[in-house]
Structure 1
Amino acid sequence: MISPAKPAKVKAKMASRPYFAALDGFRGLFAILIAVHHTNWFSYLNYRTFIDDAFFMLDMFFAFSGFLMFTLYRNHLSGSAQAKSFIGKRFARLYPLHLFTFGLFFAFAVFRLWAHKVGLATHEPGEVLPFSPEAADNWWSAFTNLTLTHSMGLNDSLSFNAPSWTISVEFFAYFVFAGMMLWAPPKKLWHFGLMALGVAGAYAALYNLKPNMDITYDYGFLRCLGGFFTGVLGAWAFAKVKAHQEASPKPMTLKTASALEVTYLVVCSVFIYFSGGILQFFAAPLIFGFVVLFALDGGYISKFMGLPVFRYLAKISYSVYMNHFFLAIIFGVVGTRLFPGIVSGGDGAGLAGDLYLIPYLAVVIVMSHLTYHYIEVPGGKWIGNRLKARKTSVQNAART
């Protein structure tokens, strides 16, 4: 039986944590838009510039993570024990669902081999089957997926659950963040100035390595660090702006904040529309401003993004992001069989493809709701409890 004091303590802890409704809402919205981006059938929505250039949304995810980590841990990562706890919590947050979705793709790879062997599927010219010498889905990439190293420059392509490359690089970005907070915590203005130079250096290096921001399995870690620490800079700037607002005798009005938000979204939209190729490497200042502005939750757009529907999407956004690629493949296969005109781009394919997005997104959301409640949360708690038990065991052993 749970004592009445425990729920009150948990509620107090949750209430003390800052919540950024607009940023959280955008996180949920971006997860859905990325799910649309990865569909392989023709639809008018998928070929809109904002969705087609999904790089911006991925780098926003990295920035959101950096913003939140610095906000929550800037005063709580001062010792090795806290750093170990931090890494353990991040691992518990990421790994259960990653393992689950990897299992789905591994099973799908085995099914493909079986289907070709028994004649359910034909071996088309140029097709590469899983676990063959030329395949991206092989035993080595399976091992690197299991160890979360699959996008740390160890493979020559994406493999299995392709979008999970971001989980791989973000997990190792947490080590960099924890190391910084332990050995060189930024506190002064010039500290953050050096960090800004580091972010600029990361994007400059990528600029000289790649023609655009389609950077994943090879230099994705450097890309993640650029976005993540852009978010850290945003968290520092937000704290300064927030303190200034609270001390000001004339706080920003709802109308002024709304005008700023609308203007900024227009600027972002224009940038994305024209930011093909090398211009994409200059998105960091825009992402920085986006994070700071919408963390303030000051205007009508922020209020709108804080609606319950977006909060719900934000809650399951990690599941949406990790589940959608598998379902996009399944719906693509089914569409090829039942609605070949949609996939091949026949007459009316665009509108039909948009309608086909409705059941696809519905299934993505339902599945994500289930994996959130039955994989993410219990899996994270299970790992967290194992780590706590191990810590207690080590402490008891040290006392004896």
Structure 2
Amino acid sequence: MMARSWKVPALRVASEEMLHLDLFRFIASIGIVVRHSFEFFFPAATRSALPSGLALFVDLFFVISGFVIAHVYQGKVGTVSDYGTFLQRRVGRLMPLHWLTLAASIIVWSVFVVLGKAGNHQPSFEATCIAETAILLNAMLTCGNGISFSSVSWSIGAEMVMYLMFPLFAWAAVRSRLGLLAAASLVLFAMIAVDLSQNSVDRSWVDVWPPFRALPSFMIGICLFYFRHKVQIPAPRRMLLLSLTLLLISMITHTHHLISLGLIYVVAITAIAADQEIAPTFVKRLAPLGQLTYSIYMWHSLVILIVMNAIADKLFHAPPGLMVPFCIVSWLIIFAVSYFSYFVIETPARRYIDGLGRANKRSAADVVVSENEGLRRQTG
């Protein structure tokens, strides 16, 4: 008997209603990867002066997250039990990969320390600092030397704070959607005021305290869900392409971050408008890549640290021309590891955590698609 051939599992979108948003989640993750890899094409002394606008793609994550969470959980967090189930699923989605990448980062940096190659930017090995990172408090607190393992997890900590607050937003939306929109606008203006008063023009929005940075974008995402059918834009896909182009230009130049932030909101709004129409074929084909967004985000910094920083930059002192193949190899590794991680690590872990404490546990397949089915059942 011939051995059964092994097939690569296929990515699938969670909902046909958010294809453009799914695609832009993936685009945002690629933007973050580009931000952290392209700095090695420049001398170390000049890297701090490079435009940091691509880092604001994280704020697009916050907007889309607010939209998706409202889409899935509207009317489903009204009791303590519902709230507990909601948080359980959020923990199942975020924490296993966070803990895995944290452990991997500790191992990698330990090897650097043993080899005497840790340099001046090694994270703090203090037990308290590692514990704070493990429970995502590194987004809110400063410990040790101020550098933590799994540095990108700062945004996951901010995201978790948004999840803790979500029932409040859902309650406000039930009573007055216009009131929630007004509150989101006030929060945005307040955070802009904080940004302008405390942060320099060169850095601006990326230095806002993470929960404060996430709050207006997450709230705006929730509001966009409730007002999605009122978003009417002529030729939305053309406007989406135009707004994305303007956003990228602002990000790769020294345009003030608040302008880029405004363009992020425009991109999100036009993507939602585009999702009101039938998506073109290329969007349908690429949208499933949005499922890899979290994997790419969590793994990319570790891969770049090893391949581009330690090997290419520190070991080979690679000039820009030689850095190109190292960059390509890094991107290929990131995609491969993320694909493997999504199917082999994240999905089984999510199934397990989602099923904990259930008196009548559903099958693993039912558990893992529970939120996806919730998305499909939404009719708006």
Same fold (TM over 0.5): yes
**% same residue:** 19
In structure 2, the residue matched to 1:322 is 298
Q: Does residue 83 of the first structure (1) align with residue 83 of the second (2)?
A: yes
In structure 2, the residue matched to 1:31 is 29
Show structure 2 runs of 5+ residues with no match: 1-11, 363-380
In structure 2, the residue matched to 1:232 is 222
Q: Secondary structure at the match of 2:223?
A: helix
Q: Secondary structure at the match of 2:115?
A: helix
In structure 1, the residue matched to 2:376 is none
Which structure would you say has the larger Rg?
1
In structure 1, the residue matched to 2:358 is 388
CA distance in 2, matches of 1:354, 1:328: 13
Q: Report 1:145-156 matches (<5 A).
A: 145-155=133-143
Contact 2:53 2:257 in 1 (8 A): no
The TM-score normalised by the length of structure 2 is 0.78
Q: Report 1:123-142 matches (<5 A).
A: 127-128=119-120, 136-142=124-130
Report Cα offsets for 1:291-344 as digits up to 9, x if no partner: 121123369996376242x334311111111001111011121214664232xx
Match of 2:257 among 264, 268, 280: 280
In structure 2, the residue matched to 1:311 is 287
Q: Report 1:365-384 matches (<5 A).
A: 365-384=335-354
Q: Does residue 59 of the first structure (1) align with residue 53 of the second (2)?
A: no
In structure 1, the residue matched to 2:101 is 101
CA distance in 1, matches of 2:348, 2:212: 32
Report Cα offsets for 1:142-168 as digits up to 9, x if no partner: 010111211113436341111111111
- Letter in structure 2 aligned against 1:370: F
Contact 2:26 2:290 in 1 (8 A): yes
> Structure 1 residue 264: deviation in Å?
2.3
> Structure 1 residue 31: deviation in Å?
1.1
- Letter in structure 2 aligned against 1:220: P
Considering only aligned residues, what root-mean-square deviation do their CA atoms show, in Å? 3.4
Q: Report 1:73-222 matches (<5 A).
A: 73-116=73-116, 121=117, 127-128=119-120, 136-155=124-143, 157-182=146-171, 185=174, 187-211=176-200, 212-213=203-204, 215=206, 219-222=209-212
Contact 1:234 1:289 in 2 (8 A): no
Contact 1:230 1:284 in 2 (8 A): no
Contact 1:169 1:220 in 2 (8 A): yes
CA distance in 2, matches of 1:375, 1:192: 38
Contact 1:316 1:369 in 2 (8 A): yes
- Letter in structure 2 aligned against 1:84: G
CA distance in 1, matches of 2:230, 2:55: 29
In structure 2, the residue matched to 1:223 is 213
- Letter in structure 1 aligned against 2:353: I
Q: 1:25 to 1:214 in 2, by over 3 A?
A: same
Show structure 1 runs of 5+ residues with no match: 1-13, 246-251, 343-348, 393-400
CA distance in 2, matches of 1:214, 1:234: 22
Between stretches 174-183 and 157-166, larger displacement belongs to 174-183
Q: Does residue 20 of the first structure (1) align with residue 9 of the second (2)?
A: no
- Letter in structure 2 aligned against 1:203: I
Q: 1:53 to 1:195 in 2, by over 3 A?
A: closer
Contact 1:199 1:226 in 2 (8 A): yes
Report Cα offsets for 1:198-241 as digits up to 9, x if no partner: 2221232232222234536x711110112211212222332323
Q: Secondary structure at the match of 2:75?
A: coil
Contact 2:152 2:297 in 1 (8 A): yes
- Letter in structure 2 aligned against 1:257: P
Match of 1:296 among 273, 277, 283: 273
CA distance in 1, matches of 2:92, 2:276: 35
- Letter in structure 1 aligned against 2:112: R
